[in-house]
Structure 1
């Protein structure tokens, strides 16, 4: 390959997107461009470099040897380009999914990141669950999210990076007149015979339902059947008041009208919360989020596990592999 006198960063950005997705349609969606336009940009880049950077067939796209050689240089160029734009106030907003307005872990990380990088515009979004948000991350419609990384499909995890932020203690939301509502803490054994709502049937939160299934297995606790998909706090409150099922939550979950939130104990179940972003994404806002998460984790002791605290073994294994 020959070295051209000038390379448009847009062409390199398209190249990196295709190299990471190995799929032109997904890469085009991630960049908000038409697939035909992206294909033209890749052909132009190949002409300017004087060599083939992808090997295309009817079934798949792979990097050529020259493409493999180009990729690390392209990533460094784009990182420098983004830093330059950020220095002069031209960086695009970073879209950060917090799952739900009532959850505090992601919100606190976001607020700290805004303090650390006031030159960046970090915009909150609320997509309900990481499983749905992950698809938006891969498509480029979101930049970062929070949730249980091990609950994602392996093929989805392959396109993402993560940083463990917190082992969040879990809780149960109970109607005020429930038999267990007067307890300051609810032993898991006391829930035997109950059917607990854990998002069953919600296509946005299967990772949460899976966590509940693992926690309840062998304890005589059932998963409540799917309820009508409620969008927004008001509708969720109405549906839960109608079903009167206990709701699996985390300790920071805000109590709904007519309910109480009680920590679960014996053992203390922990929900692993990770900061998750698209692999290869370069943006000063991501750096700020990672630094903010690390600071809060250290200050708050978010990764200290109580004696006997319960975490699925699969989560520990997967998070360790992706560190």
Structure 2
């Protein structure tokens, strides 16, 4: 046995030993399959033995692989205990933007189920641009939002995982002529003045997306309003100005309003889990796994045949047309 057991190699080994499938193990570790295979080969060289029998149809543990499993678990538990004693078990701070938004909240709740021994705490910073600065400063660990809408200087040093193509909606006062509709065609908003966070320095990524959506459709951007912090104050300011509000389908209806999905086409906002590169925390591993699982279960990344995604988001997220 080498003098220093690299915990990364042991974690790679346990992932393959438990999955008995390199592709699934790589997905679980959030690494490329080739990188995982290199780690396994390196560990085998350091131990001087084969750990797996590989064939085109299956992967099985060798006798030495079986012997290593309990040792690897004990070693990694010792690493985790050491990290906990010296502060690595601090709470993971996860920004959900707003208490009423469903996407980030569902991911966080699933992550808490996956990592019950770790504290994952919600924060509400209202916008990804503001949260990104907090991520860089180490005052937040992760957030959710439109990654492509960040300034390149903010994107530098951040990682992201696409979680959902979130359909957009319009919040209408009950007295608005479009309020009785179950769905609102985008063309029906021509001539309307719609609020989309203009002037809110925490959410310019959302305002930029709205401008791209409104362009060429005759929809005007509402002028900036005083920054309203808190649900009650936001509702008061929106009621005073009376403009429809661009939102997403899970946005909670405010008093005296209705939320209606937008259609023809269905505009979507790509929501990513965003974090500071180099972040190491067991709760963060659970957060990424939760995002993957829910996106799959809920078909959050399904391409809508009649959907609209901005060209900038397609380019930065590497999406094919």
TM-score range, shorter chain: 0.7 to 0.9
Partner of 1:262: 260
CA distance in 2, matches of 1:212, 1:275: 21
Count of matched residue pairs: 243
Other structure's SS at 1:170 match: strand
Q: Is the 8 A contact 1:85 1:91 kept in 2?
A: no
Residues 280, 218 of structure 1: CA spacing in aligned structure 2 closer, same or farther, 3 A cutoff? Answer: same
Q: Does 1:284 align with 2:282?
A: yes
| Alpha-carbon distance, 1:85 to partner | 4.1
Q: Is the 8 A contact 1:297 1:303 kept in 2?
A: yes
Q: Please, which of 142, 149, 152 is the counterpart of residue 151 of structure 1?
A: 149
> So what's the TM-score if we normalise by structure 2?
0.73
Partner of 1:118: 116
CA distance in 1, matches of 2:193, 2:93: 36
CA distance in 1, matches of 2:312, 2:120: 32
CA distance in 2, matches of 1:167, 1:91: 32
Structure 2 unaligned segments of length 5 or more: list them: 1-75
Residues 126, 151 of structure 1: CA spacing in aligned structure 2 closer, same or farther, 3 A cutoff? Answer: same
Q: Is the 8 A contact 2:88 2:281 kept in 1?
A: no
User: What are the Cα deviations for residues 246-300 of structure 1, in whole angstroms up to 9, with x where unaligned?
Assistant: 0000000000000000000000000000000001111111111000000000000
Moved over 2 A (4+): 79-90
CA RMSD of aligned residues (A): 1.8
Q: Does 1:107 align with 2:105?
A: yes
User: What are the Cα deviations for residues 164-204 of structure 1, in whole angstroms up to 9, with x where unaligned?
Assistant: 00000000000001010000000000000001000000000
| Alpha-carbon distance, 1:86 to partner | 5.8
Q: Is the 8 A contact 1:169 1:263 kept in 2?
A: yes
Structure 1 unaligned segments of length 5 or more: list them: 1-78
Q: Is the 8 A contact 1:131 1:204 kept in 2?
A: yes
CA distance in 1, matches of 2:83, 2:295: 27
CA distance in 1, matches of 2:282, 2:264: 42
Partner of 1:188: 186
Q: Please, which of 110, 131, 134 is the counterpart of residue 133 of structure 1?
A: 131
| Alpha-carbon distance, 1:87 to partner | 6.6
